Structure 1
Amino acid sequence: MKTNDPLKNQIFEIVENQMRDNNPKETNITYKRLIELGFSKTESKQFMSQCLAIELLDVLEYKKPFNEDRYINNLKNLPKDPSS
Structure 2
Amino acid sequence: METIKATMPGVFYRRPSPEDDPFVPEGSSVSPGQTVAVIEVMKTFNELKAEVGGTVTRFLIADGDEVEMGQDVAEVDG
Larger RCO (CA within 8 A; separation ≥ 6): 2
TM-score (norm 1): 0.26
Q: Which has the higher helix share?
A: 1
Q: Who wins on radius of gyration, i.e. which is larger?
A: 1
